[in-house]
Amino acid sequence: MSFDLKSLRGSAAIAGVATFGCGESPGFTEMELLARAAYAAVADAGLTMADIDGVCTASVLSAMWPMPVIEYLGLNPSFIDGTMLGGSSFIAHLMPAMLALAAGQCNAVLVCYGSTQRSGTMNRKAVADARRQMDPQPYEMPYEPVMPVAAYALAASAHMARYGTTRRQLAEVAVAARAWARLNPEAFERGPLTIDDVLCARMVADPLTVRDCCLVTDGAGAFVLVRSDRARHLPRPPVFVLGTATACWHRQISAMPDLTVTAASQSGRAAYAMAGLTAADVDVAALYDAFTINTLLFLEDLGFCAKGEGGGFVENGAIAPGGRLAVNTNGGGLSCTHPGMYGIFALIEAVRQLRGDGGERQVAGARVALAHGNGGTLSSQATAILGTAETL
Partner 1 sequence: MDASRQKGDGGQLGAIHRVLQFGIAEAGVCTPGLRKGFGRQPGSPLAITNGVLRRHWADCASRFGSDVQPHTTMTLPATGIQAQHQQALDQGRFLIQHCGACGRHVYFPRELCPHCGALGPALVAPAGGGTVAAVTTIRRKAELGGDYTICMVELDEGVRLMSRVEGLAPAAVAVGLRVQARVAQANGHGLVVFDAEAAA
Binding interface with partner 1 (CB under 8 A): 138-140, 142-146, 150, 153-158, 161, 202-208, 252-255, 259
| CB closer to partner 1 out of 150 and 174 | 150
CB of 380 to partner 1, least distance (A): 17
| CB closer to partner 1 out of 97 and 253 | 253
CB of 377 to partner 1, least distance (A): 11
| CB closer to partner 1 out of 85 and 256 | 256
Q: How far apart are CA 56 and CA 10, in angstroms?
A: 20
First to last CA, the chain: 26
CB of 138 to partner 1, least distance (A): 7
CA angle 268, 218, 64 (to 5 degrees): 70
CB of 119 to partner 1, least distance (A): 25
| CB closer to partner 1 out of 140 and 186 | 140
3-state secondary structure at position 230: helix
Cα atoms in the 13 Å half-sphere on the side-chain side of 123: 1
CB of 257 to partner 1, least distance (A): 9
CB of 121 to partner 1, least distance (A): 25
Q: Which helix (H) or strand (E) holds 389?
A: none
| CB closer to partner 1 out of 4 and 144 | 144
140, 377 Cβ separation under 8 angstroms? no
- Compute CA distances 281 → 53, 320, 385, whole Å: 34, 19, 10
Residue type, 218: D
| CB closer to partner 1 out of 122 and 139 | 139
CB of 334 to partner 1, least distance (A): 19
Q: How far apart are CA 364 and CA 354, in angstroms?
A: 10
To 10 degrees, the CA torsion angle through 312, 317, 319, 321? Answer: -170
Closest alpha carbon to 287 in 334, 355, 251, 236: 334
Closest alpha carbon to 44 in 22, 19, 18: 18
CB of 259 to partner 1, least distance (A): 5
Q: How far apart are CA 306 and CA 310, in angstroms?
A: 7
278, 49 Cβ separation under 8 angstroms? no
| CB closer to partner 1 out of 242 and 290 | 290
| CB closer to partner 1 out of 16 and 311 | 311
